Structures are given as structure tokens and as C-alpha cells.
Amino acid sequence: MNQDLNYYHLIHQEVASLLLYQSIFDDEIGQSFLEVFNLIYIRNQEPIDINCLKAYSRWFKNLASQGISWQDYLSRKILIDENPFSQQVQHHSLQDLPQPLREATKHDLRILNTLYNLPLEAISQWVKEAANVPFSPFIGEFNNHDHTFLHQEDKWENCLQQLADHYRQHGTGIFAQYKALKWYDNQLIGISQPDPITLTEIVGYESQKETLIKNTEMLLSGYNALNVLLYGSRGTGKSSLVKGLLNKYYSQGLRLVEVNKSQLSNLPIILDQLRNVTQKFIIFVDDLSFEEDDDAFKALKVVLEGNVTAKAKNVVVYATSNRRHLIREYFDDRPRPRDADEIHHWDTVQEKLSFSDRFGLTLTFEPTNQDTYLKIVHHLASQINLNIDSETLEFKAKQWATQHNGRSGRSARQFIDFLQGVRIRSQKSN
């Protein structure tokens, strides 16, 4: 499609006039798009300029590397963008926002809507004319998967309320992009491929599951939820249960932040970053235990008990441990009549032993007996439609437990995964 260059110049000037959504163009795709536009603007009256062609190629390559259309890219960036409008509208109704802010948002949406509707044919033609070459650059449109209200709305400035509702439900920035995050190098980073396990895959500990679900739903409803310690034998599904909660309730605003035991001293910093966000958060600490005088113990104690700073009502701590008493205790800790003994030494011992009591809930996961183990095996086998008779399945499951890691939910999962692998390999060989 041939477009008048005067129309192009108008779009170029409008892009430069964006008020709130400038950061949409901060990444590789956005930067390469702006490079194309800038070179067209500068070089359209010059002799042949291959730089313009190269810029167009880089833009196309960046889209291809993610396998997305220009429309997909633009709509995704708008829906996660952090700017004064997207941040304030999460805490205030649209009508309560200052009118200049609403008008500025409409201004930007109108410009971005124009960019969204630009056909590649037009951009290719502009590059051809700017580079002064006899051919148009390659035109190839990736499938557009944008099915949001932005795709359905002709004029984006008319969908301000829908955009406000989206930000309020899904958040912005990293909290809109990822459902699971982790604390790394003193910052929150997204986990692109979190464990997909679901609650329906976890059987054998129904009362513990029900209690944890109820507590999580209290958190999502805005009520005071309790910090939870999941204590018990290895392989009983404690960690899987927490991850399954995330996959069930992500669409309702639940997020999970994984914090390693060695990073617990950063908990106050993490809480400060989360407390004013509209989403609800599980801080997940796996395999928790402490050594004596561990700074991490002191940091977690502050979070569980609170200090001068108010408790973050949108955050709970879910920790798993194989130890009922989270702080290692040694025989030398026990008081003996020595001159150098602390006068109230038993108080120190009791503080160590009772640390787990600072969690509002302690859910115990007993070792898996044979009946529970086989129940888990049958449940997992039925989920993948494993074609094997019950007697043979149980016999092989018992063999697996004996020869490998004993009876547990983890062993059951490994056993079923093994059988599924054998089945797939057999089908391919046939």
C-alpha cells in the first residue's frame, strides 16, 4: 500500500509526542522500530541508503525471534506498561484520577492505535522510497494472536475503562508478565516457565490441601491470612502443593515469589516492594532450616512477628521443611551448671524450639504408607490414561519404591513418568 510521506511525517511527529507510554519502545523490537522510522525521516530525500534497509531487517528479525506480529507486540507492551496512569488506576477509580492524566492517556492511545493499524506494506514502501532502491523490502506478517479488547476496539481512546479494569486485575510490569518470580541479585526477576503442576495431581493429603486452599482464598479476598509451615517427610508434595495454588489462583491475582534460605535477610526489602501492589503474594521458602545465630532466622522472625513497620496484608510466607524444629539444636545448647552459663539459658533453648510456632498454621505431612502411595500411583496413571491393569501397575509400583526412593508422592510421580516414557518410546518404535 502506497502512503503519502507527509502522512508518515505526521506519524513520526506524533510518536515523538507520546506523554506516558514512551517506555513501550525501550526493548529491542521497539528500538529497532524507532530506528526504522528515524532513518526514513532523515534519509527519504537522500541517495541510496542501505542503513535504512538494515534497520528494517533488524526490526523484522526481532519480531521473528519472538514469533509475534507487530500488533501482538504493541498490545502486550501497552497492557503491562508502568506509567503514572497504569499505576494510579490500580488504587483509584478512573473517575477519581486527575483529568489531565486521563486526557494524556487518551492522547497516547490514539497515537499507539495508529501504529497498531499500520500495515507492513506501508512501512515497506516508506523504506523503499527513503532508501531510494527499486524494490520493496520483504513483507511477511506473523499470525496475530491479539484477542484483547484493544484488538476489538476501533478507537482506543474509547476503551479507557477497560484498560483501567485490566491494570487493576492483572497489574503492570513484572507482576503482569509473570506469575512466578524469584529474588536474585537484589531484585525480583520473572520465572518464564514455572512448574505447571495442578492441585488435581496432588492426592493423599486432602485435609492439608483443603486448609491451605482456604487460607489462600482468605488472602485473595483481602482478609488476614496466616503464614504457613508445611512440615513433613521428603517427597510428600509440600512444595508441589504451594506451586499448584499458584496455577489455580493466578487469574485471581495470586503471585509467588521464591526466596532461597540464604536470601531471607532481604525479606524486609522484598516486602517493601510488594506491600503497595494490588496483587496478592506468597513468599515461598523451600527446605527451611537455620543454623545457630543465623541472620536469616532473625529476618524471618521479624516478618512473621512484625516490627514497627505494618504487616503487608497482601503477603504471606509459605515455607516447607523436613524438620519440625527449624533451628538446629545441639546437646551443648542444653544448660549445665557452669560459671559462664547464661542465667536464663532455657529461655534461649525454648525460643529455638518454638520458632515454628510463629507460623500461624503448621501443616504436617506424615510419611506415605503403602495404601496412600498406591492411591497416588493410580491417580497419576489415570490422568495420562496409562493402559495397564491395576494388579500389574501396583506390582511395578511396589518394585519401584523398593529399588529407588521408597514410598512417597515424588516416587509415584517418577514411576509414572518412567512408564509414560517407555510407552512413548514404544509407540515411536512401532
- The pLDDT tens digits along the chain (430 residues) read 444 667 777 887 788 888 899 999 999 999 999 888 888 776 555 555 678 888 888 898 999 998 899 999 999 999 999 999 999 999 999 999 999 999 999 999 999 999 999 888 888 888 888 877 788 888 887 888 888 899 888 899 999 999 999 999 899 999 999 999 999 988 999 999 999 999 988 888 889 999 999 999 999 999 989 999 998 888 888 999 999 999 999 999 999 999 998 888 888 889 989 998 999 999 999 988 766 556 666 777 777 776 656 678 899 999 998 865 555 544 454 455 554 454 444 344 444 445 667 788 989 888 888 888 898 888 888 888 888 888 889 898 898 988 887 888 888 889 888 888 878 777 777 6
Q: What is the pLDDT of residue 304?
A: 76
Q: What is the pLDDT of residue 175?
A: 94
What is the pairing mode between strands 361-365 and 228-232?
parallel
Could you please report the per-residue DSSP string of 124-140? HHHHHHHHT-SSPPP--
Q: What is the pLDDT of residue 344?
A: 42
Q: What is the pLDDT of residue 347?
A: 45
How is the chain split into domains, by residue range? Answer: 5-171, 180-365, 370-429
Q: Cα(295)–Cα(390) distance, rounded to whole angstroms? A: 51
Q: What is the pLDDT of residue 355?
A: 62
Q: What is the pLDDT of residue 76?
A: 94
Q: Is residue 321 within 8 Å of 289, Cβ to Cβ?
A: yes
Angle, in degrees to the nearest 10, between helices 28-43 and 50-66: 160
Q: Residue 331 class from Cβ within 10 Å (0-12 exposed, 13-18 middle, 19+ buried)? A: exposed
Q: Which backbone phi and psi does 232 adopt, to 5 degrees?
A: 160, -170
pTM here is 0.80
CATH of domain 180-365: 3.40.50.300
Q: Which backbone phi and psi does 399 adopt, to 5 degrees?
A: -60, -45
pLDDT tens-place string over residues 22-71:
999 999 999 999 888 888 776 555 555 678 888 888 898 999 998 899 99
pLDDT tens-place string over residues 111-137:
999 999 988 888 888 888 887 778 888
Q: Is residue 299 within 8 Å of 268, Cβ to Cβ?
A: yes
Q: Residue 94 class from Cβ within 10 Å (0-12 exposed, 13-18 middle, 19+ buried)? A: middle
Q: What is the pLDDT of residue 176?
A: 94
Q: What are the beta bridge partners of residue 280?
A: 254
